[in-house]
Structure 1
């Protein structure tokens, strides 16, 4: 008999689980039965440089409410000693790590400062901070966590980024942002070579036009009335909730044949077609397909064709 919780007994680390895609991924892994360690820098006692109110404690509570076990661990993934202690704790408490999700970012405010600015015109410290947040933090986390993950065959590493490999061939915003968003694609590809021979899998996953908490705030809407923002940005019609990419990662994690994805760059919309899951509202948006075909390609097609 097929279990309704295919990840029961599995242990996941979602690095960068405070909000947005990371939080949703953690919750959906929990809904599938996993024990999920969610990390981030914003707690009920202290906020990160972003200043947002979402906390990792809330994420852990949502994971548990969804049917898994959520464990919040305050962690700065640029501090190697903190990441090492985190992995040692997982080993001590669980003795295994089956799923590693690298969703660490927090650099959107820096990207906006440098939007369309020439490389030499942007403050070097701001650019390097983006690379620290989006690249260095992922490398530190993988370096510390992979020795535990590869103890058992079948492990999964998910690098989360913004944009597919195909779309990211185009220039993205500015020099540093482009590097930060392309690096996870290449990291998954590189790790696929190291992990594949050990029976593990590495993939890169991107949401489409994500209705994160920050994005909803930016447009002055909520998840309930998000369609009001379409008047400001017509492309928002194809937006997806964070639940969608959360279900995408959970579907890969539960797939015994996931090795076929090893090294690939995958979108939530693409994976929905493969696995048959939907967004929270029952739709199946294909944000990158819409942006590529209609917004950039000039194709005359209604947005409903991409939902």
Structure 2
């Protein structure tokens, strides 16, 4: 699955899923621009580099070319200038855009369990400015480049949070809107051969998740809801393998406008996680039972037994 010669952008790639996707794109040989806000403490004490710059170096070590750019994705002037610079640097070539930037993790955590009417209404902007509005702007600027060459791939990193209530009102609205953004952009970009999808990773073992759900020795914290679910989840690079497989697929336009679950792509394209494990699928009956706390029953149901997608969508219908 070589992506040599491809130009990619991954927003919000200093850590977490964005970092994992960027590393896998680099491992496949792509030139990868990664973005993140300039931190207050600009240097890491050990290496003298920011997290973003360290990720860029690792991309290059793996065989690609990593290019770090500090971009505040809450500032649309900075976003516009960034895309113009990439277009100029590569004579109008941009093959892949991964919309991943997000700034609301801390705000969501701090307001967990608080109803929306008791929460500062500005949490809407915290959740959906970078996490939705920015993705629209990035997609506009990327599409203007891609349609000139009649090809491209735009991936919106989303989640099942748009299906049912999760965390808070602003979060669920933003995720459902992001999936609708993918679907509607795909309609208008279909004739230009630009594929647009939403990707839903399962539970991902990000740096923050490990702090929340794991003990210092790596074991799941007892008595913490969903600790076991995340302990058995994906590494941050598994979604990256899904993106690489999709980008290398000459028939990816068959999937445009769809929501794609990472483990479904793993089954289809034949890849596993970087630790050699096949992570759970959110459509898996055993995963759903475990998420509900029915661990004993979950252990006797094979992982390959899954609910069809239409069953999940039907269960959320308001009609």
Contact 2:13 2:19 (C-alpha < 8 Å) held by counterparts:
yes
User: What is the rounded CA distance, in whole Å, between the counterparts of 1:295 and 1:214 in structure 2?
Assistant: 19
**Residues 182 and 284 (structure 1 numbering): CA distance in 2 closer, same or farther, change over 3 Å?**
same
Which whole-Å CA distance do the structure 2 matches of 1:303 and 1:79 have between them? 50
In 2: Cα distance, 1:45 partner to 1:93 partner:
29
- Match of residue 125 from structure 2: 128
For 2:54 and 2:78, how far apart are their aligned partners in 1?
A: 21
**What residue number does 1:251 align with?**
245
Alignment partner, residue 229 of structure 1: 220
Describe how 1:1-307 pairs up with structure 2 within 5 A.
6-43=2-39, 45-46=41-42, 55-95=51-91, 96-163=93-160, 168-221=162-215, 226=218, 228-229=219-220, 231=222, 232=224, 233-290=227-284, 291-296=287-292, 300-302=297-299, 305-306=302-303
Partner SS, residue 9 of structure 1: coil
Does structure 2 retain, via aligned residues, the 8 Å contact 1:91–1:97?
Answer: yes
SS at 1:208's partner residue? coil
Instruction: Measure the CA separation in 1 of the matches of 2:245 and 2:273.
Output: 13
Secondary structure of the equivalent of 1:140? helix
Quote the offset at 1:304 in angstroms: 9.1
**Aligned partners of 1:16, 1:10: CA distance in 2, in Å?**
19
Q: In the aligned structure 1, how far is the partner of 2:239 from the partner of 2:279?
A: 11
Q: Superposition RMSD on alpha carbons, in Å?
A: 2.4
- Tell which deviates more after alignment, 62-71 or 289-298: 289-298
Q: TM-score, normalised by structure 2?
A: 0.84
- For 2:63 and 2:182, locate their aligned partners in 1 and report how far apart those are by CA, in whole Å: 29
The farther-off stretch of 54-63 and 96-105 is 54-63
In structure 1, runs of 5+ residues without a counterpart are 48-52
SS of residue matched to 1:83:
helix
Give the structure-1-normalised TM-score.
Answer: 0.87
Contact residue 229 and residue 290 of structure 2 kept, 8 A: no
1:158-179 deviations in Å (ceiling 9; x for gaps) = 000122xxx7322112111112
Deviation of residue 38 (structure 1)?
A: 0.3
Per-residue Cα deviation, 1:92-126 (whole angstroms, up to 9, x for no partner): 11120000100011211111233232221110112
Greater Rg over alpha carbons, structure? 2
Aligned equivalent of 2:314: none
After superposition, the Cα gap between the structure-2 partners of 1:297 and 1:234, relative to the gap in structure 1 and judged at 3 Å, is closer
**1:50 — aligned with what?**
none
**Structure 2 gap ranges (5+):** 44-48, 305-319
Measure how far apart 1:230 and its partner are.
Answer: 5.7
Please say if residues 162 and 174 of structure 2, whose CA atoms lie closer than 8 Å, have aligned partners that are also in contact.
Answer: no
**How far apart, CA to CA, are the structure 2 residues paired with 1:188 and 1:156?**
11
Shift of 1:238: 2.7
Distance 2:66 2:300 in 1: 37
| Alignment partners' CA distance in 1, 2:82 and 2:10 | 12
